[in-house]
């Protein structure tokens, strides 16, 4: 009996081995297909997430550049008014746009939706570790730092507004700028009512100097570097999307 079984197995062993190999290959193929499908699905999710970051950060970069122009116009205007004060120059209506721009102030919002979505799902969804850390750093470190400095500068802005009630007429939204070098700001032109007194106010000159110093610090230490970081980060994201696609 045993000899019969042995002889049968001896003659057909390759069939059993072949069946085992086929079963193992089937399992491996199915496993690899499942892995490939899961990897591809994760890549699609990653690409969608990166494109969401791309849209949000692109909008943030446009906003930051708009704010930078505001600060640059404010610095330029404050310097011009200080020159008028220091050199005791006469009033001209072309100065009104400069007076208005000394009050230029806008805070950076920074869209937090994409990074909050990433945190609420899975931080590892962005597979590139360097890129993921750069994105998180932008939202968790750079953006809050800018907002913190802006709050400090805003105090000077509020103090400048006190001079509005004492020395300036209300903003005129309809009057165009008579200054060929500076267009009217969105909030209108501001005309001084007591120009002679304003020129002799040491507090007003001191506030203008403080505004210049604070805004220059904000631009050089925070806004300009953030603009470069955002530009570089968007380039990295674009390259990563191309690699994944």
Kindly report, residue by residue over 181-200, the tens digit of the pLDDT.
Answer: 888 888 889 899 889 998 99
Distance in angstroms between the alpha carbons of the first and the last residue of the chain: 64
Q: What pLDDT, in 10s, does the model give residues 106-158?
A: 788 877 766 676 666 666 778 888 998 899 899 889 999 998 888 877 776 77
Instruction: Write down the domain spans for the chain.
Output: 2-244
pTM of the shown model: 0.78
């Amino acid at each position: 009996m045993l000899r019969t079984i042995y002889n049968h197995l001896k003659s057909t062993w390759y069939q059993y081995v072949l069946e085992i190999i086929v079963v193992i290959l089937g399992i491996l193929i199915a496993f690899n297909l499942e892995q490939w499908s899961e990897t591809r699905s994760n890549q699609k999710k990653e690409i969608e997430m990166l494109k969401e970051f791309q849209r949000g950060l692109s909008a943030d970069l446009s906003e930051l550049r708009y704010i930078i122009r505001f600060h640059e116009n404010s610095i330029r205007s404050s310097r011009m008014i200080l020159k008028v004060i220091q050199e005791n120059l006469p009033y001209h209506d072309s100065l009104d746009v400069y007076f208005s721009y000394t009050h230029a102030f806008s805070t950076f919002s920074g869209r937090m939706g994409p990074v909050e979505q990433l945190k609420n799902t899975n931080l590892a969804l962005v597979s590139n570790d360097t890129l993921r850390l750069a994105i998180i750093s932008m939202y968790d470190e750079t953006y809050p730092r800018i907002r913190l400095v802006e709050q400090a500068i805003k105090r000077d802005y509020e103090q400048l507004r006190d001079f509005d009630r004492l020395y300036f007429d209300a903003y005129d939204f309809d009057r165009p700028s008579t200054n060929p070098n500076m267009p009217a700001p969105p909030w209108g032109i501001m005309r001084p009512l007591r120009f002679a007194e304003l020129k002799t106010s040491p507090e007003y000159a001191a506030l203008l100097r403080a505004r210049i110093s604070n805004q220059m610090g904000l631009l050089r230490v925070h806004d300009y570097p953030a603009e470069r970081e955002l530009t570089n980060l968007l380039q990295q994201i674009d390259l990563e999307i191309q690699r994944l696609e």
